[in-house]
């Protein structure tokens, strides 16, 4: 009986619907992902995971958590991907490098100081549809591209790190849609809102990537 109860607790309430044009998954389970958020099925997504094909990483923090990705915040649809400093970061989509910051030192593991939010290294890439991908907490001098460079989906663009407001080595990643903010003037990675995101080159994740509590084996980047 105990096993059955555990099983029921671990299985999210799922409702998938489809029409001729698009297929969405709608999360009905509070506490797993953002309530009411619509994620495009990964088989319909145009994005790939931001790491090398064949590698597997766990999600340290998913969407709409009680932590820094809280529901309604600019990072509600962000992912924290646990990975060692120096891991190659790959572009989720083709685009143009909008901004690079790479002059800050990595912090000690476990520091987790919110006052360091403006001392994170990052690279941002603008896609043809106007969305902007933010790859944050890069290691010092970890950008492999410069502003204005054209990047191709899947290309290596940066090295991960532990700079800024971070509790340990990881990549904070979010896809932004800037509605009221001009991304070119005084833009910084947390001035626009994150949007729900799925990836086409990994196992099914109807409600976005789930954190290690729900997906302890992590996600493997497959060829695409």
Least separation in angstroms between CB 80 and Zn ion = 4
Question: Counting every residue, how long is the chain?
Answer: 224
Nearer to Zn ion, 145 or 172 (CB): 172
Q: Report 162-201 residues binding Zn ion (CB under 5 A).
A: 172
Instruction: Number of residues interacting with Zn ion: please give it, by CB under 5 A.
Output: 3
Least separation in angstroms between CB 166 and Zn ion = 8
Report the alpha-carbon distance of residue 190 to residue 174 in Å, rounded.
9
Structure tokens at 188: 């910084």
User: Which of the ranges 77-85, 113-121, 138-146, 183-191 carries the binding residues for Zn ion, by CB under 5 A?
Assistant: 77-85
Report the alpha-carbon distance of residue 50 to residue 55 in Å, rounded.
10
Report whether 36 contacts 76 (CB < 8 A). no
User: Which of the ranges 76-84, 98-106, 178-186, 210-218 carries the binding residues for Zn ion, by CB under 5 A?
Assistant: 76-84
Nearer to Zn ion, 39 or 190 (CB): 190
Least separation in angstroms between CB 74 and Zn ion = 11
Least separation in angstroms between CB 103 and Zn ion = 21
Report whether 168 contacts 193 (CB < 8 A). no
Task: Print the binding letters for residues 80-109 with Zn ion: x by CB under 5 A, - otherwise.
Answer: x-----------------------------
Bridge partners of residue 17, in order along the sequence: 24
Report whether 139 contacts 119 (CB < 8 A). no
User: Is residue 124 part of the contact set for Zn ion (CB under 5 A)?
Assistant: no
Phi and psi (nearest 5°) for 118? -90, 10
Report the alpha-carbon distance of residue 71 to residue 33 in Å, rounded.
9
Contact positions toward Zn ion, by CB under 5 A?
Answer: 78, 80, 172
């Amino acid at each position: 009986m105990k096993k059955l109860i555990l099983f029921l607790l671990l299985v999210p309430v799922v409702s998938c619907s489809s029409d001729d044009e698009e297929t969405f998954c709608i999360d009905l389970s509070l506490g797993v992902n953002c309530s009411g958020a619509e994620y495009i099925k990964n088989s319909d997504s145009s994005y790939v995971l931001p790491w090398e094909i064949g590698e597997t990483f766990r999600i340290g923090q998913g969407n709409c958590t009680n932590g820094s990705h809280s529901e309604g915040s600019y990072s509600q649809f962000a992912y924290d991907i646990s990975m060692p400093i120096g891991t190659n970061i790959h572009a989720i989509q083709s685009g143009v490098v909008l901004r690079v910051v790479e002059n800050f030192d990595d912090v000690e593991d476990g520091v987790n100081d919110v006052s360091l939010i403006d001392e994170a290294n990052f690279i941002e890439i603008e896609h043809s549809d106007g969305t902007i991908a933010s790859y944050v907490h890069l290691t010092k001098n970890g950008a492999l591209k410069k502003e204005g460079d054209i990047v191709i989906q899947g290309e290596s663009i940066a090295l991960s790190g532990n700079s800024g407001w971070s509790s340990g080595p990881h990549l904070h990643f979010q896809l932004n849609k800037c509605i009221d903010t001009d991304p070119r003037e005084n833009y910084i990675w947390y001035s626009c809102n994150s949007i729900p995101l799925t990836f086409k080159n990994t196992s099914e994740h109807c409600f976005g990537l789930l954190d290690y509590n729900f997906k302890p084996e992590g996600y493997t980047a497959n060829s695409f």
